């Protein structure tokens, strides 16, 4: 077997032919024959490479998974992965969802040789529950206008915190310092942030855009579940909803719209401010409060 030979330089294929008294037809025939042989050999190699790549990928995954499991077992990390947000049993039923003991399920971190404490991460089911508690409190405000009509932003936020603390035994706080500034609602577990929320009265598209910037500024790299709560005291709620949706979708950090949970609840995927590859889930919730 005499495989074709050529040189590659600066993305160019260089063929060399030697001989005397060669005609143009003979040289052209040699070039075409060599190119056909090269393509034929490459085709054979592609099949071999594809099979090898498939084999080596699965083999590597098996070896990595086996090594990870061994390291986790040796470091006794399994017991450190479980932690729990505890719910109290005396939650006011007028304001909140039914009693359900909730347990956070963090994903397993990458194993290393040095012992470490896994980072907590709020699972989507628990994220939905937190937002449901907030939603139920907002419904109470909408249905009892006389009790809330004179409350400012801070007073309204306090009512949300009361309900969240009722579900999570004091894990929620207001005006808690986190990263670059203060955030309105922050839930922590094991000393780590698992939920960040920002409350604002509707003041137009620019204020909402600034609020999202503010929330992103509060969010550290590991914060992946956030929410913007907009209180509307204008008459035209439908117009506010459409404007808020457009502002959020056009924000430079917005990667895509996920879905619409209700007439006033929308879900997006945002990029972290300092890392475009790090994604966070952002919920936009709009409430019509008494005025």
Q: Which of 65-79, 137-151, 239-253, 265-279 has the lowest mean pLDDT?
A: 65-79
Helices (H) and strands (E) in the chain, counts: 6, 11
> Between 237-250 and 205-218, two packed helices, what is the crossing angle to 10 degrees?
50
Quick one: 189 and 221 in the same domain?
yes
pTM value surpassing 0.75:
no
The DSSP code sequence of 114-135 is S--PPPP---HHHHHHHHHHHH
Question: Residue 260 has what pLDDT?
Answer: 93
Quick one: 130 and 159 in the same domain?
yes
Model confidence pLDDT, tens digit, residues 84-124: 545 555 554 444 334 444 544 545 445 555 554 555 677 78
Q: How many structural domains is the chain composed of?
A: 2
Quick one: 141 and 283 in the same domain?
yes
Quick one: 33 and 174 in the same domain?
no
In a domain, 40, yes or no: yes
Model confidence pLDDT, tens digit, residues 251-284: 999 999 999 999 999 999 999 988 888 889 999 9
Quick one: 162 and 203 in the same domain?
yes
Quick one: 132 and 160 in the same domain?
yes
In a domain, 155, yes or no: yes
pLDDT band at 34 (very low <50, low <70, confident <90, very high): confident
Quick one: 44 and 158 in the same domain?
no
What's the whole-number average pLDDT of the chain?
A: 79
Of 74, 107, 124, the position where a domain reaches its end is: 74
Quick one: 173 and 52 in the same domain?
no
pLDDT band at 147 (very low <50, low <70, confident <90, very high): confident
In a domain, 118, yes or no: yes
Model confidence pLDDT, tens digit, residues 205-234: 999 999 999 899 888 877 889 999 998 887
- 115 vs 57, higher pLDDT: 57
Quick one: 38 and 97 in the same domain?
no
Q: Are 15 and 31 in contact (CB under 8 A)?
A: yes
Quick one: 197 and 117 in the same domain?
yes
Quick one: 53 and 96 in the same domain?
no
Quick one: 284 and 148 in the same domain?
yes
Residue 66: which domain range? 7-74
Range list of β-strands (E), 53-125: none
In a domain, 39, yes or no: yes
């Amino acid at each position: 077997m005499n495989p074709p030979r050529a040189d590659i330089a600066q993305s160019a294929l260089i063929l060399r032919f030697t001989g005397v008294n060669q005609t143009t037809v003979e040289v052209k025939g040699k070039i075409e024959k060599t190119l056909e042989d090269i393509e034929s050999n490459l085709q054979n190699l592609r099949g071999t490479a594809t099979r090898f790549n498939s084999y080596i990928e699965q083999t590597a995954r098996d070896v990595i998974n086996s090594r990870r499991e061994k390291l986790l077992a040796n470091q006794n990390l399994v017991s450190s992965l479980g932690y729990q947000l505890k719910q109290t049993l005396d939650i006011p039923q007028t304001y909140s969802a039914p009693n359900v003991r909730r347990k956070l399920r963090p994903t397993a971190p990458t194993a290393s040789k040095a012992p470490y404490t896994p980072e907590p991460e709020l699972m989507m089911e628990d994220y939905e529950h937190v937002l449901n508690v907030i939603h139920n409190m907002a419904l109470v405000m909408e249905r009892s206008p006389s009790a809330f009509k004179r409350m400012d932003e801070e007073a309204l936020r306090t009512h949300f915190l009361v309900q969240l603390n009722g579900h999570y035994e004091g894990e929620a706080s207001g005006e808690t310092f986190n990263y670059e500034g203060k955030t309105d609602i922050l839930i922590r577990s094991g000393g780590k942030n698992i939920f960040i929320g920002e409350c604002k009265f509707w003041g137009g598209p620019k204020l909402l855009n600034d609020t999202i910037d503010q929330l992103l500024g509060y969010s550290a790299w590991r914060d992946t579940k956030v929410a913007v709560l907009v209180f509307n005291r204008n008459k035209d709620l439908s117009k506010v909803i459409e404007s808020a949706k457009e502002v959020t979708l056009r924000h430079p950090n917005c990667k895509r719209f996920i879905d619409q949970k209700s007439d006033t609840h929308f879900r997006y995927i945002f990029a972290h401010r300092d890392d475009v590859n790090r994604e966070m889930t952002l919920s936009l919730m709009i409430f019509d409060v008494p005025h």
